[in-house]
Amino acid sequence: MKNNINRVVLVGTGYVGASYAFAMLNQGLAEELVLVDLNKDKAEGDAMDLCHGLPFVSTPTKIWFGDYSDCKDADIVVITAGANQKPGETRLDLVEKNTNIFKGIVSEVMKSGFDGIFMVATNPVDILTYATWKFSGLPKHRIIGSGTILDTARFRFLLSDYFSIDPRNVHAYIIGEHGDTELPVWSNANIGLKHISEFIEENENYAHEDLENIFVNVRDAAYQIINKKGATYYGIAMGLARLTKAILNNENSILTISAHLDGQYGESDVYIGVPAVINRDGIREIIELEISEDEKKKFKYSASVLKDIIKSANL
């Protein structure tokens, strides 16, 4: 870390990036926020627009439209830039396209002398987090993907809605790929200190059969939102702001993010969504849960899907 001023550089000021910048400003999380985008007009316009809200914030923040040289003194570089899947394109086409975009972005960031933490949200996020690790040459614990932070938030919200309990008291995780092979960790899903199956057994209004539906709604939430409004951005932006806060405030908070595994959950050489302790150094440690045999099988499958993509992308 270069000085006592917290600086975050955001690369990619599209829907997700701009929403993140707005959340950062409203929560007063960084003293300096720099916006970078290939579309310079968009980034410059966003910086101007956000600056006009400064008289109304509780914590002063300096925001400007910048370039990669600003990464030198940054604590965190957040990447939300990239291409979206177009009709007729396969997922692998998108991997190739965004991997190439990331090669350019990460090399520009590293050229500045950056020595902080990368946060990645661009999809497919687990693959691009792995690519960022490879391209940057930085230690694994300083590369963090948003992973299943959003899926876990959706899960906690839907469970809180079903059981009518504050989502902040729902402790339940989605792990695995941020995508179709992700899985809910029912074996460790608690409300307060009580396992959710106890809630179900004690109240005839609840049923185990409803749980599968809740998970399907979590897994398919992005498709539902994209069908309705074209993109999802507020939830992930708030998740990224939460992650930023955990890093800058050295919180040692547990969040489900995409982390590099070195034998945890029986896997290695893959970035995948797991609960981890996050602080000023990045990923302090991965929390290895006791999960059921069925969950182990599903997690293994999810990791194998990611590893196959990593292999075919030659990362």
User: Does 99 sit near ligand NAD (CB under 6 A)?
Assistant: no
**What are the residues facing 258 on neighbouring strands?**
145, 273
**6 phi and psi angles, rounded to 5 deg:** -80, 120
Write the single-letter amino acid at 59: T
Cβ proximity of 236 and 150 under 8 Å: yes
Selected binder of ligand NAD within 61, 122, 188, 302 (CB under 6 A): 122
Selected binder of ligand NAD within 6, 10, 12, 156 (CB under 6 A): 12
Which tokens sit at 202? 């004690």
CA distance to 178, 293, 307, per residue, from 127 (Å): 10, 26, 9
Cβ proximity of 126 and 101 under 8 Å: no
User: Which of these segments, 47-55, 69-77, 122-130, 154-162, binds ligand NAD (CB under 6 A)?
Assistant: 122-130
Site string for ligand NAD, 226-265 (x = CB under 6 A): -----xxx--x-----------------------------
Give the residue with the Cβ less far from ligand NAD, 118 or 199. 118
One DSSP character per residue, 76-103 reads: EEEE---PPPPTT--HHHHHHHHHHHHH
Selected binder of ligand NAD within 27, 84, 112, 197 (CB under 6 A): 84
User: Does 119 sit near ligand NAD (CB under 6 A)?
Assistant: no
Minimum CB distance to ligand NAD, residue 194 (Å): 29
Cβ proximity of 277 and 285 under 8 Å: yes
Selected binder of ligand NAD within 105, 138, 185, 283 (CB under 6 A): 105
User: Does 17 sit near ligand NAD (CB under 6 A)?
Assistant: yes
Selected binder of ligand NAD within 8, 9, 10, 11 (CB under 6 A): 11
Residue that is written with structure tokens 């497919």 in the block: 124
- Of residues 143-182, which lie at the interface with ligand NAD (CB under 6 A)? 146, 150, 178
Write the single-letter amino acid at 119: M
Cα angle for residues 162, 149, 230 (degrees, 5° grid):
80
178 is catalytic: yes
Which tokens sit at 218? 């979590």
Minimum CB distance to ligand NAD, residue 223 (Å): 12
Q: Where are the alpha helices (DSSP H) in 164-233?
A: 196-202, 208-219, 221-229
User: Does 78 sit near ligand NAD (CB under 6 A)?
Assistant: no
Contact residues: ligand NAD, CB under 6 A: 11-17, 37-39, 42, 80-82, 84, 101, 104-105, 121-123, 125, 146, 150, 178, 231-233, 236
Catalytically active residues are: 178
